[in-house]
Structures are given as structure tokens and as C-alpha cells.
Amino acid sequence: MGSISNTPSIFDLRSSLSSVAAPPKNGNAGGVQRSERPMAIDVKSNSKIVHGEAGYVLEDVPHLADYIPDLPTYPNPLQDNPAYSVVKQYFVNTDDTVAQKIVVHKSSPRGTHFRRAGPRQKVYFESDEVHACIVTCGGLCPGLNTVIREIVCGLAHMYGVTKILGIEGGYRGFYARNTVTLTPKSVNDIHKRGGTILGTSRGGHDTSKIVDSIQDRGINQVYILGGDGTQKGASVIFEEIQRRGLKVAVAGVPKAIDNDICLVIDKSFGFDTAVEEAQRAINAAHVEAGSVENGIGMVKLMGRYSGFIAMYATLASRDVDCCLIPESPFYLEGKGGLFEFVEKRLKENGHMVIVVAEGAGQELIAESMRSMDHEDASGNKLLLDVGLWLSQRIKDHFACKGKMPINLKYIDPTYMIRAIPANASDNVYCTLLAHSAIHGAMAGYTGFTVGPVNGRHAYIPFYRITETQNKVVITDRMWARLLSSTNQPSFLSLEDIEEAKKEDELIDNGKPHSSSIGGEAIW
């Protein structure tokens, strides 16, 4: 059996943090071995901000001890787990944090950090007292079943938990649907299937009823899988649980297949699978376009607000001639417009492939169809089908005035992509997310979501997940790489470029670059 390492961390928050405000009510706040110095607690936003030397800032997450005094602690069962006997160091240092911004200058302040994810020496739940539940909300995404499986197996195999419930049908399942008992045996092979074995839905969030159900069932750990709307709901559930003084840990696992959920985390699960599967549609469009005279293959990919899937699928494919995303406006008519570029490319190559994100060009078709202000049950804007609209506009353009005949094929693989199982990369990623959530809940943290920040998993407050959506920055070098790869026009006026630069400056002012995927800034 290995021994617990006493290797000191690079820095010790207990010696470096400075007091900036009075301590929170009920004394200690937010850690297994909490700082002896008081933390700055912003009660209004439910945030825990710790200031240290050299411009160090820790955006900490809530802890059960923040509002429940004198909670007992217990040794972490992992130290007696045979699977971990060869691990040199079972537990992360209590004071380990992860930097939000990794590229700095020598004179830069240390900047914003988040608490590092991982198992702690002490836990706030005994294994036989844990009664956990898992719920999936919102749209489908590759990897949902993997996260469910790994939460169940992680709780059972690492911490000896035996009582785990699945909430069926999303948030309303807490009070309107049956539950299902989850065991390692029952979830053994669900990662090989797409979708979610628990079912999902949009809306149905009744905070009081949900927390009543949690309280009545004796649930004390809640794992919530979903996008930004779901995480907002999880935040409200946590606040009600805190108001009632319940010993219930609420952990979120962020889901957004098109990677638009948050500026902080490197990427969301399911994104790699979506990009990989999108290649099949692009390849089919390329084959169709190249097999006929003046062939055009158009592929519509997911991306309501952010064009990450379209951008990365385009870069990975090398067969795309034009990529249109929500962040970069385009126009059809006139010099430098899309019609002119299509005609030019057909004359040069005899065929072309266009990739369009579902949220692109919405302002161009808003006048003809008045549904721009309609929303679904999750509050997402209902979009017009830009793929069908743009296909028809291109056909109409070339049909008039005796222009060249074209053959256009339109492919929409949206639900094929959403419904497939996760690929190898996403399966590994989902395992790490699930385990990070488990370790955090067992250690008493609550009101948090998990995700990699610069390649290291961290606990992130709910408000950071829901405050701003992640979008492609069209003044970034990655978008420039795409324009260079496709050789398409940017379609931007000088005013558009200046406006984009201003928005980019706001993003860089204390926040990470939004085109950061996979643990490092993309340059």
C-alpha cells in the first residue's frame, strides 16, 4: 500500500493570502483544510474571492461548511483502495489552484485562479450515508452515457457508495417521473450507446418542487449534466438548498456539443466527436459536388451562437471552400459577396463545398420569416433554417439572367451527430469530468461545475459558467488560418473589423481568449 505524500505544493495559500474582508458567517469557508485567514465573500453574487500577493486571485467555490457549522470529516476511502496502492500521491494538495490565463508577461499579475479538482485527504460524507442522484437535461450530446456510467462506477468503486438514483426525463423528473436505481452492472455498457439512458427534456424547472423531492428522498449528492440553461438551473437549486441549510452537494457537468457554454473551460465534452462525425457529412458533400458539373455541396452544422464545430470541421476537412459562422457576418449580393465568390470558385474548380453553422446569416432571413424572437423551453432562440434558405437563394441566383447551371445538394447531419456515442477522446474526457465531480462532492464542495482550465481540471463557480457564452473570435489567428485554408473572402467591412477588435479587447480584459480549446491558446 502506498503512502500519502507530504510533498509541499508550489505555494501555500495559508501563508500567502491576505485578508481583504470579514470572514463569512459560520466561520470557515470552502476547503477541507481551510485558510486560517479570512476570505472575501461577495454575498450578493454568492462568490468567494480570495486575494493574495502579486495580484493573485482565487475564485473559490462554495463548501458545505460555509453554511453548516461543525460538520464532521472522515478519512478518504481511497487511501485503502487497492486500485490506488501504486499511486505516489493519492490526494491533491489542499491549496493547489489552476491559473485561468496561461500566457503572461514577466510583469503580469498572477491573475485569476480556480481550485484544482481531485480527491482530498478528508471527506465530508461517509460512504454508507451517501445517497446520490444523476439527471440529464437539454439536448443530446455524445458522451452523456459515459458521464453517467463513470459517476456511478466512480462512486461505487472509489468510495463504496451503493445508493445512486437516476432521475428520468430531465428536471421535471424530480417531481413528475419515476427514478431508476443505478449500479455498476446496470450501466456497464451504456457508453457504447448514444443519447442518455435517463431521458432528457427542456424546461420543467420548478425549484421548490425539485428541492422538496431531493429533501424527501434523502438525497445528499446531486450531479447535473447539461448546458448553460441547465447549469443556471443547478445554481438556483444550490441556492435553495443552501437557504434551507441542507447537507446536499450540487455538482454540475457542463454539456455543449458546439462548445459555446463557457469562456473558462478549454472545451466541452462531445465537441471532438461532433467535429469527427461532421467530416462524414463534408466528405459526402464533396463527393456529390465533384461528381457533377458545377456541383455545390452544402452542409449545415450545429452552432446556434458559436461556430466552433463548423470552423474545426472545415480546418480538419481541407475540402471546404467556404465556411459561414454566426460570429462573422456575410452578405450575398454585390462585389465581394457570397454569390460572386461561388461563381468564381465554380469557374476555377468546377465544384465547391460550403459549410454553414445553423446560427449564421439569421439577420439576412429575419425579414422573410418572423420567428427570430421565438424560444424553446430552455430559452434558446428558435433559429430559421439557414441551410435551406441559402440553398434556395443560390439556386435562384444562378437560375436568373442566364447564368451557369448548377447542381446543389444540401446535407443536414445535425441529429446524426448528436445521437452517436462518444469517440475515444471524448470517452476519456468524460471519465475525468465524472471523477472530478465525484471528488469535489465527497470533499464537501457544492455549487460548482467541473472542467479543464489550461489542461488541468478545476472546480468553477456556477456564475462563471453561465455569465458569458464562448464564441469564435474572428480577430484571432485561428480564424485567419481558416480563411487562408479556404481562400474565401472575410465578407467583413472595415466597421465590422473594428467592432470585432473592440469585442476582442473586452474578452481579453481579465478573461481567457475564447478560441482556446484543448488546454492551450490557439495561435
Q: Was 227 annotated as part of a binding site?
A: yes
Q: Is 230 annotated as a binding residue?
A: yes
Any binding-site annotation on 229? yes
E strands present in 186-281 = 221-226, 249-254
Q: Which amino acid is at 508?
A: D
Axis crossing angle, helix 144-159 with helix 424-442, rounded to the nearest 10: 50
Helix (H, G, I), strand (E, B) or coil at 321: coil
Backbone angles phi, psi at 300, to 5 degrees: -100, 125
Which positions are catalytic?
258
Q: What type of residue sits at position 269?
A: F
DSSP string, 334-353: STTSHHHHHHHHHHHHSEEE
Asked if residues 83 and 165 have their Cβ atoms less than 8 Å apart, the reply is no
- Residue 417 annotated as binding site: yes
CB atoms under 10 Å from CB of 493, counted, come to 12
245 labelled ligand-binding: no
Query: Is 203 annotated as a binding-site member?
Result: yes
The DSSP code sequence of 178-189 is -EEE--TTTTTT
Q: How far apart are CA 323 and CA 357, in angstroms?
A: 8
- Rounded CA Rg of the chain: 25
Q: Which amino acid would we find at residue 362? A: Q
Give the 3-state secondary structure of residue 244: helix
Distance between first and last Cα of the chain: 44
Q: Given the DSSP bridges, would you call strands 56-60 and 111-116 parallel, antiparallel or unpaired?
A: parallel
Bridge partner list, 52: 17
- Say if residues 267 and 222 touch (Cβ distance below 8 Å): no
Known binder of ligand: residue 169?
A: no
To the question of whether residue 393 is assigned a binding role by annotation, the answer is no
302 is in an annotated binding site: yes
Q: How far, in Å, are 23, 62, 142, 233, 237 from residue 242 at the CA level?
A: 18, 10, 32, 14, 9
Which residue matches cell numbers 450507446?
A: 193
H or E, element range at 56: strand 56-60
Q: Does the annotation list 139 as a binding residue?
A: yes
Strands of 88-174, DSSP E: 97-99, 111-116, 122-123, 131-136, 163-167
Residue 515, judged by CB atoms within 10 A of its CB (0-12, 13-18, 19+), counts as buried
Phi then psi dihedrals of residue 285, to 5 deg: -65, -40
Would the annotation count 304 as a binding residue? Answer: yes
Enumerate the known binding-site residues. Answer: 139, 202-203, 227-230, 302-304, 358, 415-418
Binding residues for ATP: 139, 202-203, 227-230
Numbered residues of the known binding site for Mg(2+) = 228
- Binding-site residue ranges for substrate: 302-304, 358, 415-418
